[in-house]
Amino acid sequence: MTDTQRLDMVSCYENSGISTPCLDALAREGVKFDKAYTVQPVCGPARSAIFTGQYPCVNGSFANSLAPGANVKTIGQRLSDKGIATGYIGKWHLDGGDYFGLGVCPDGWDPAYWYDMRNYLDELSEEDRMKSRDSQTMYKEGWPAEKTYAHRCSDRAIDYIRSHKDTDFFLVLSYDEPHDPSLCPEPFASMYSDFCLPKRENVWDTLENKPPHQQAWSGPRRFQDRDDLLIQMKELFGCNSFVDSEIGRVTDAAKEILGQDFTLLYTSDHGDMAQSHCLYAKGPSAYEEIAHIPFILWGQGTGVVDTPVSHIDIAATVWDFFGFEKPMMLQGESLLPLVRTDTRPARRDVFIEFGRYEIDHDGFGGWQPMRCIFDGRYKLVINLLSEDELYDLETDPFEMDNLICAEAVSSIRDNLMRRLLAHMDQIRDPFRGYWWEQRPWYTNRTSPSWDYTGYTRQRSEPDYEAPQLDYATGLIPDSLVRRK
């Protein structure tokens, strides 16, 4: 996986002028998912969903620098307990530490191959540490491939594959690239010096009919001349093509070592707004630019899947791949049945959320509770402390027209809301409650009730979590979900 790759930065999805030949080859030879979505468009929470199979609000890592709960098991722990070799190489971002991590291998992964960004920095002198965090380094003196984080991660991954070629294994290769500072060697460093990303229609969206928190996020960008705007991000785009070449290097090595006897899943954690809707980076929204991510499965047939899928499905898919029965703690669904059939539904609900950007920082909008449901056409976004959004991506692919109060789609909107509230209850969203449905436009809202649904929702898993006892009897209850 990569960090910060929009769809239009992967040319098999959208040929914007950015080159990714290695990923394009994987797409031609594998299954390309055209409607894949992150669970939360922030580095740590996105990874928490991928590697625990639980939504960020449930696993506890709903912001950067906030580790999952002690009772939450990663897919590495689950697989290693079943006798599968597991390796994790690259950016982790789930230990509660700073951006670089703590340099300590978590339970379930092979410590001989563990290599997070703190380990990388520890290999560098203080002078090179500072240079590695400055994009200008590659212009002033160059930064050879051998000194990049991506290249060193790739080397370790190739060594892992070679040393495990005769056994079943699960390996994660998690690049920080192309995330800034986007250091990369030539020719990538200068590849996009004069390149401008083609502007989407929503670059001219100045947020007049959009939530106030997005207007605050935009700041003065709303009032800049959008006609004269040039989207020039040469470091990001250059590093994007560089990490594509690193993915190709590892993939070629895997084919040489393993032949065709392996499966590869590629994705990215989130995208970048890059001036769409006058916004930058990522944050509390579900716009396509940051939520819609590339997702390719190689080694399980070929084709294109238009059914909506989510990062939450990855852990369940890996679990299914190794032939294990899915426990209730994995909240997604295996995608293998979807790729092994020609009958694929056009509609499937996927869910996106937001809590906050980072625990350590007061800024980035602070706490911005958001819950979103997307069914393949309509996207409903509930911004609890702000105003809500509804988009029809079939008629409005750039999400310009907020239909939240449009009478013509009120029944569709209310049905989406009903399913979203049911989802929050079903997954035990700790922030669920009566206030979510008290939106002025929601015609099916009920009167505020302290008891809300009146249900208790407990969980149990034979290998890791004993059944909780009933408060009134002290005995194991007949049902985990029951009226309190």
Active-site residue, selected from the candidate residues 43, 105, 153, 372: 43
Dihedral of CA atoms 157, 163, 165, 166 in degrees, nearest 10, equals: -150
Give the chain's count of helices (H) and strands (E).
Answer: 14, 15
- Max CA-CA distance within the chain? 71
CB 74 within 8 A of CB 353: no
Sequence-distant (6+) residues with CB within 8 A of 330 are 53, 54, 315, 316, 319
Long-range contacts of 435-444 (CB under 8 A, 24+ apart): 435/384, 436/371, 436/382, 436/384, 439/382, 439/388, 441/388, 441/404, 441/405, 441/410, 441/413, 442/414, 442/417, 443/410, 443/414, 444/414, 444/417, 444/418
Active-site residue, selected from the candidate residues 22, 93, 213, 278: 93
Q: What is the CA angle 264-297-18, rounded to 5?
A: 95
Helix axes 43-52, 313-321, angle to 10 degrees: 30
* Nearest-angstrom CA–CA distance, 27 and 13: 9
* Nearest-angstrom CA–CA distance, 451 and 434: 9
- What is the per-residue DSSP string for 4-23? S--GGGSTTT--SS---HHH
* Nearest-angstrom CA–CA distance, 414 and 453: 18
* Nearest-angstrom CA–CA distance, 228 and 150: 35
* Nearest-angstrom CA–CA distance, 366 and 350: 25
Signed CA dihedral, 67, 71, 74, 77: sign only:
positive
* Nearest-angstrom CA–CA distance, 73 and 93: 15
End-to-end CA distance of the chain: 43
43 is catalytic: yes
Q: What is the CA angle 249-250-255, rounded to 5?
A: 100
Q: What are phi and psi of 460, to 5 degrees?
A: -155, 145
Q: Which residues are catalytic?
A: 43, 93
